[in-house]
Structure 1
Amino acid sequence: MLTNRIAALFSGLLILTLTLLPVATLAEADALQPEEDQGSTAREIVGKLEMLHYNKLKLGDEMSEELWDEYIEALDPTKSYFLASDINEFRQWRTKLDDELRTGQVNHGFEIYNRYRLRVTDRLNNILSQLDKGLPEFDFDRDESLEVDREDSQWPVSISAADELWRKRLKSSVLNLRLTGKKDEEIRDLLTRRYTGQLKRVKQQSSDDVFELYMNSLTRLYDPHSNYLSPRSLENFNMSMSLSLEGIGAVLQMEDEYTKVARLVAGGPADRTGKLKPNDKIVAVGQDKEGEMVDVVGWRLDDVVELIRGAAGTYVRLETIPTGGDGSHRTILIKRSKVKLEDQAAKKAIFEFSDGEKSYKIGVINLPTFYIDFEAYRRRDPNYKSTTRDVARLLNELEEENVDGVILDLRNNGGGSLQEATMLTDLFIDQGPVVQIRHANEQISRHNRSRSRAMYRGPLMVLINRLSASASEIFAGAIQDYNRGLVVGNQSFGKGTVQTMAPLKEGQLKITQSKFYRVSGDSTQHAGVTPDIPMPQLIDTESVGESAYDTALPWDRIHAVPHAKYFDLKELLPALVSKHNQRTATDPDFVYLREQFRFERERADQESISLNEKAREEEREALNERLLTMENRRRNAKGLEPYESFEALEESESDDVAALGGPVEIKLEDDPILNEAGYIMADFIGLNKKASKAPPQVANF
């Protein structure tokens, strides 16, 4: 299960054996204490959440219990550090945390953290002591396994139970490294450096770190996008979460002990390599082309970001565990650079498709993000760049080339400017509302409107996927509600909330205050936009998207607003779906995509891993053979030369990145989803010409 916990600073630390300090010695430990101003900041946070947040939740005993659960899970998501006796002791505070916060007290939060810190420090010291004597000897012929998902497990009931859990975890770490080809001495050195670094970072944690972790456990109860930023986090807010200025162009998050790629910045250095993908785990970072690789397993997120960030023109190497692979590591060389507007700008291409009777010229516009050059706009530069201006220019060029229809590709478009989403919709519809916004005070705003006649009135399709979010969902939802065009692809991300920054005495609070609703009255929150014609699912909706968050605000609806209807899509959809299904049922690329998704879901559902080396090697060989068979079945069906081995497949330039929406360059041969979208568009144009046309009608409510 995906855990998107920005504040989960430490996790996944391994140990062989441990003699735990008795609880009585905690007072002698180097415990962290709350600072004087943190109490007043906590009161401020509680007050602003209760008064300003969209949810209007009041902090009481029930939420106190939820806060206790959330905080414990943030500290120990794998239930591997605390003992059951620790948890039982902490239970006395489950219904008292709300009262404490209201009076400006955070003592219990610090007491829980200090116990956690003690447990982690003891384990790290003991494992380093073990490694100092040499790499422990493990029996890799023994048939045993390790749980990989401990969400439903219990905390160890005794020291011996904890030792057994960590024996397996350490054995798993050693085995993973052995399977990458590393020798025992290399493994010992790597693990020693890893745990020494982790111990150093644990000891460097400050009162601010603990307070931020505790407060974010509270804000997550309201929704996953509200969070507290300490002064340090606030200073680095933009760059610590998105390396899009001078870095690699990737948004990162923590999942257990790993730094994981949440998404790539369109047109950024990482995106252009075509090798780094969402859900890949970063395990080591190296500077320049030959610098030493620094193991970053268990590091704080902002420390990993700092290591990856660097001056434009320099190189960084990332050692990753690719998603959906066999667990093997992969090293990717990326040249750092600034992500410029021109790298993210809309691009076009023209292709020909046939509906079986006639060929049509289809224009494709790829839009990676909703952008605007705010600085140039504020200067009143008449040539400022923006999404709407660029798309308008491309539409003019496409119409000059007499295209029969346009596909607007919003796959992987994570959003951007609401103003641009509204203005872009204005290019395709006449005057009318685009989106409704309901605020925390329950007032509904409908000021975001199309204010002029449509510039382009021809056939239109919007292509979306699971990574299409926010502004993309507003645009796609409006096009769908107006029946202005087809929406094709996958269910979108489902982020339909708006956050604002609220100042605090110390730091700031990012708080959800509004919610987007379509003109139909449906929220885009949680459910996203459902396509008229679905494509094979490539991204697991259980791990990616708003619905993957436990505390995501729910879907709901408000009153619809009058809006025009352009095409009678209900009449055309059955025939379009039938033709699409016939084409893709045996299409080699679509068969492969469906097999690939089933394969990755099977791996995601794996609850344990073997600690038997021979069994793991056999699993890897079977896994690689299955991947090779899937790919060669596709290649044989397309008349392409099959790969002789899995190694040959790995070394090739795989086109699976393009299948996810991939690079900005528009290439049909690498993109079966776009290729099929073109055929759907050809069918749409042909069927619409045969159908009786009626002028747009204003819907009756």
Structure 2
Amino acid sequence: MNFKTLYKSPVALMLYGVCLCTTVNGQVVQVESAPFTFEPMPKHSAIAITVTTAIANYHYKKVKIDDSLSTRIFDNYLSKLDKAHAVLLASDVKEFEKYRFQMDDALVSGDLSGAFKLFGVYATRMNERAEYALATLKTAQNLSSTDVYDFSREELPWFNSLKEEDQYWNKRIRYELISLKAVNNDEKKAYQTLTRRYEKLKKGLDILKSENAFEVFMNAFTETVDPHSTYFSPKASTEFNMQMNKSLEGIGITFSFQDELPVIISVVKGGPVDKSGKIAVNDRILAIAQGENGEFEDAVGLTQDEVVQRTRGAKGSIVRLRILPAGAALVSKPKEVTIVRDKIILEDQKVKSEVKSVKQGNSTKKIGIISIPNFYFDAAAFNKGDKDYASTTADVRKALKAFETQGVEGVMVDLRNNGGGSLKEAVELTGLFINYGPVVQVRNANGKIQVESDKDSLVVYGGPLTILINRLSASASEIFSAALQDYGRAVIIGEQSYGKGTVQTVYPVGQLTGQNDPSLGSLKFTMAKFYRVNGASTQHRGVTPDISFPSKYESLNIGESALKNVLPYDEIAQARFSPVVGLKGVNELKQHHQERMNASQEFKFLVEDIQKVKESNAKKTTVLDLNKFALEQQKQQADELARLNKRRKLQGLQPVAALGDQTKSAVDYVQDESLQITAELISKSAGKSASK
């Protein structure tokens, strides 16, 4: 279900004079609101020209700065400002049309006045919406009606009049009141909370600066070229560098905004959130509270900086999050999770290994599991000559050597949720499992192809091998798994991977201009593309597993293919490589896998989970009736609790009294079934060896 809320939007009302009028419950209300205006700073012109030149000349995609690009920038800019079509009027958009073919000229010349005017109009309009909401909340609203509220207006036209817009916003405010009252059954508090929300929105608009307008417009440009190219303002640049260095004390998540709510896009292995076991990727953060007794503050309306500030903090301090689980309907009651902030321990993000005995039929196989959360490489220690520098490959090598002494018969590498990391490590890790040869091809913006290869003939492990991936396995994970799939060295199990086959680099804009001025921000842009040794790109399509599981991420718009303006899939010439003797019997492995899944209750739960997410996302409207909303929420909670306890009983776990009381299930069905596949692969490999 889409949750279109606009409080984080950087900006909102055409100029109707200082005294504006609107209606609340049919009564004319005077709203005092001066128009917002923004003027480019002198440095913005130079930055725009420099960034545009860099993108045009050095981006992997051959970018022509012309009217064709201009019209796409224009549409993207409007989308970034008012994606939900809930603030601007049709007359505003019609007036904006005169700028449609001027966006390219603005970037080349540095004359940003038109783009800033659009931003000012939107900021004024948004301010009017805040004023309307605050006026509306001063009177009691009808929370028991047959009116229908539409969650998503993205595909609907902009409003033709203020009256039409007011009608929508009145429904929206009533929906928000109903949602808030359903959390704590306190209508007075719901009005107070929502009033504070819109007061905060209004204050946020009041402190907007030219830097905000500039960053939004520049990213409307860069993201039109490709979604991984970004202009960072000085403040955003500092934050990006801190995240890359992973030197923060906090809770161990990264997030982005989806439909104006913070959505968790990754959980740092070993961080406080990961250890809690109660929060997962694609969960939505509804509210944040400090300490054990602090009042919850709505996440709706917070900027990215504000969410970071509220989740980050000193080691040992407490933050409480109100979470709506991934795929849950908006009528679901959110769960509250208490997290103790801590220093992210790098050791917890390193390779982990264990040995499991897997029973299959009348035999038991010993399988070594290697879990790789990311591809890490301590370049600083390496450059200093430290022989014990941190390295994924070194740690996996140690695990494989240890397996030899433990009688391991097969190995499974678990790359689920591994977002990538060092290209060097992806290449060297592949080399542990093959004799020698190319691992990945990298083509730069000039079309030059560089082949990254394993150059030694040492094979650390040559036995039965499977690799487990999911939709969140990206970049270096895809390079590693694709190479071993192309060589016929491993059976790939799981879900289609993320599909990020591009390489980005970050340059300080000051460096591009020949200055050393950090106040100019930085530019991240795509400068190369990865290709498999068979010539196919991992871009967009990712890696397709040999044996698949249904994906719980299928309906959550995760992956490269869910993004706009992504670079396309394509192919280049195959590199020269010699596959190992092809894996045989994969079709039989696939057949037996399907038979086990069909007989498994856990698999049925997985299929049901996916279907529930699809149904939730398909729901676009709700009736504005508090009683119906509460009853639907109660029923859904009861159904979810009953289903949860049914699953726990099958797993041999004690039932829980309420949702949110449980941590992650001790049973990892996907891993367990993948181990069954690995065990069968061991048997086939043994039979093959015996027949030689």
Residue in structure 2 matching 1:399, options 398, 404, 408? 404
Q: Report the CA distance shift for 1:304/1:562 in structure 2 as closer, same or farther (over 3 A).
A: same
- Looking at structure 1, the residues matched to 373 and 264 of structure 2 have their Cα atoms a distance apart, in angstroms, of 18
3-state SS of the aligned residue for 2:590? helix
3-state SS of the aligned residue for 2:144? coil
Residue 70, structure 1, aligned to residue 76, structure 2: yes
The correspondence of residues 347-496 of structure 1 with structure 2, limited to 5 A, is 347-496=352-501
Letter in 1 for 2:565: T
- Looking at structure 1, the residues matched to 157 and 284 of structure 2 have their Cα atoms a distance apart, in angstroms, of 26
- Looking at structure 2, the residues matched to 518 and 581 of structure 1 have their Cα atoms a distance apart, in angstroms, of 28
3-state SS of the aligned residue for 2:196? helix
- Looking at structure 2, the residues matched to 57 and 559 of structure 1 have their Cα atoms a distance apart, in angstroms, of 24
- Residue 82 of structure 1 is matched in structure 2 by 88
Task: Using the TM superposition, name which of 469-478 and 366-375 deviates more.
Answer: 366-375
Instruction: Report deviation, 1:548.
Output: 0.7
Letter in 2 for 1:576: L
- Looking at structure 1, the residues matched to 658 and 675 of structure 2 have their Cα atoms a distance apart, in angstroms, of 29
Deviations 1:197-252 (A, max 9, x none): 22111111111111010000000111110010112211222346997621111111
Letter in 2 for 1:690: G
Residue 546, structure 1, aligned to residue 560, structure 2: yes
Letter in 2 for 1:620: Q
Please list every run of 5 or more consecutive structure 2 residues that lacks an aligned counterpart in the other structure.
14-21, 511-519
- Residue 657 of structure 2 is matched in structure 1 by 648
The correspondence of residues 235-254 of structure 1 with structure 2, limited to 5 A, is 235-239=238-242, 245-254=248-257
Residue 146, structure 1, aligned to residue 143, structure 2: no
Residue in structure 2 matching 1:559, options 564, 573, 589? 573
3-state SS of the aligned residue for 2:249? coil
Instruction: Report deviation, 1:289.
Output: 2.2
- Residue 507 of structure 2 is matched in structure 1 by 502
Residue in structure 1 matching 2:298, options 289, 295, 316? 295
Report if aligned partners of 2:286, 2:323 keep a CA contact under 8 Å in 1: yes
- Looking at structure 1, the residues matched to 413 and 263 of structure 2 have their Cα atoms a distance apart, in angstroms, of 29
Letter in 1 for 2:166: D
Report if aligned partners of 1:228, 1:507 keep a CA contact under 8 Å in 2: yes
How many pairs align?
A: 672
- Residue 670 of structure 1 is matched in structure 2 by 667
- Looking at structure 2, the residues matched to 409 and 622 of structure 1 have their Cα atoms a distance apart, in angstroms, of 37
3-state SS of the aligned residue for 2:659? helix
Instruction: Report deviation, 1:8.
Output: 6.8
Letter in 1 for 2:627: K
Report if aligned partners of 2:150, 2:622 keep a CA contact under 8 Å in 1: yes
Q: TM-score, normalised by structure 2?
A: 0.91
Letter in 2 for 1:470: S
Report if aligned partners of 2:4, 2:84 keep a CA contact under 8 Å in 1: no
Report if aligned partners of 1:11, 1:256 keep a CA contact under 8 Å in 2: no
Residue in structure 1 matching 2:237, options 215, 234, 237? 234
3-state SS of the aligned residue for 1:236? helix
3-state SS of the aligned residue for 1:458? coil
- Residue 118 of structure 2 is matched in structure 1 by 112
Q: TM-score, normalised by structure 1?
A: 0.90
Deviations 1:111-138 (A, max 9, x none): 111001111112213322443x3xx323
Q: Report the CA distance shift for 1:677/1:174 in structure 2 as closer, same or farther (over 3 A).
A: same
Instruction: Report deviation, 1:258.
Output: 1.4
- Residue 513 of structure 2 is matched in structure 1 by none
Instruction: Report deviation, 1:606.
Output: 1.4
Q: Report the CA distance shift for 1:363/1:217 in structure 2 as closer, same or farther (over 3 A).
A: same
3-state SS of the aligned residue for 2:365? strand
Instruction: Report deviation, 1:694.
Output: 11
Deviations 1:83-122 (A, max 9, x none): 1110111112111221222211111111111001111112
Instruction: Report deviation, 1:604.
Output: 1.3
Report if aligned partners of 1:352, 1:359 keep a CA contact under 8 Å in 2: yes
Task: Using the TM superposition, name which of 179-188 and 343-352 deviates more.
Answer: 179-188
- Looking at structure 2, the residues matched to 673 and 465 of structure 1 have their Cα atoms a distance apart, in angstroms, of 10
Letter in 2 for 1:602: E
Task: Using the TM superposition, name which of 513-522 and 611-620 deviates more.
Answer: 611-620
Q: Report the CA distance shift for 1:551/1:3 in structure 2 as closer, same or farther (over 3 A).
A: farther
- Residue 44 of structure 1 is matched in structure 2 by 50
Report if aligned partners of 2:36, 2:121 keep a CA contact under 8 Å in 1: no
- Residue 698 of structure 1 is matched in structure 2 by none
Instruction: Report deviation, 1:686.
Output: 1.0
Task: Using the TM superposition, name which of 96-105 and 162-171 deviates more.
Answer: 96-105
- Residue 680 of structure 2 is matched in structure 1 by 683
Letter in 1 for 2:669: P
Q: Report the CA distance shift for 1:403/1:2 in structure 2 as closer, same or farther (over 3 A).
A: farther
- Looking at structure 2, the residues matched to 12 and 253 of structure 1 have their Cα atoms a distance apart, in angstroms, of 23
- Residue 662 of structure 1 is matched in structure 2 by none
Instruction: Report deviation, 1:486.
Output: 0.7
- Residue 666 of structure 1 is matched in structure 2 by none
Residue 588, structure 1, aligned to residue 601, structure 2: yes
Q: Report the CA distance shift for 1:413/1:15 in structure 2 as closer, same or farther (over 3 A).
A: farther
Instruction: Report deviation, 1:172.
Output: 0.6
3-state SS of the aligned residue for 1:38? helix
Instruction: Report deviation, 1:418.
Output: 1.0
3-state SS of the aligned residue for 1:650? coil
- Looking at structure 2, the residues matched to 652 and 671 of structure 1 have their Cα atoms a distance apart, in angstroms, of 19
- Residue 156 of structure 1 is matched in structure 2 by 159
Instruction: Report deviation, 1:340.
Output: 2.2
Instruction: Report deviation, 1:296.
Output: 2.9
Report if aligned partners of 1:437, 1:515 keep a CA contact under 8 Å in 2: yes
Letter in 1 for 2:679: A
The correspondence of residues 261-276 of structure 1 with structure 2, limited to 5 A, is 261-276=264-279
Q: Report the CA distance shift for 1:2/1:614 in structure 2 as closer, same or farther (over 3 A).
A: closer
Task: Using the TM superposition, name which of 192-201 and 435-444 deviates more.
Answer: 192-201
Report if aligned partners of 1:82, 1:156 keep a CA contact under 8 Å in 2: yes
The correspondence of residues 632-643 of structure 1 with structure 2, limited to 5 A, is 632-634=645-647, 638=650, 640=652, 643=655
Residue in structure 2 matching 1:29, options 13, 35, 40? 35
Report if aligned partners of 1:421, 1:475 keep a CA contact under 8 Å in 2: yes
Identity of aligned residues (%): 36
Alignment RMSD (CA, Å): 2.8
- Residue 98 of structure 1 is matched in structure 2 by 104
Q: Report the CA distance shift for 1:592/1:394 in structure 2 as closer, same or farther (over 3 A).
A: same
Q: Report the CA distance shift for 1:100/1:324 in structure 2 as closer, same or farther (over 3 A).
A: closer
Q: Report the CA distance shift for 1:261/1:625 in structure 2 as closer, same or farther (over 3 A).
A: same
Please list every run of 5 or more consecutive structure 1 residues that lacks an aligned counterpart in the other structure.
657-668, 696-701
Report if aligned partners of 2:12, 2:125 keep a CA contact under 8 Å in 1: no
Report if aligned partners of 2:8, 2:302 keep a CA contact under 8 Å in 1: no
- Residue 127 of structure 1 is matched in structure 2 by 133
Report if aligned partners of 1:32, 1:206 keep a CA contact under 8 Å in 2: yes
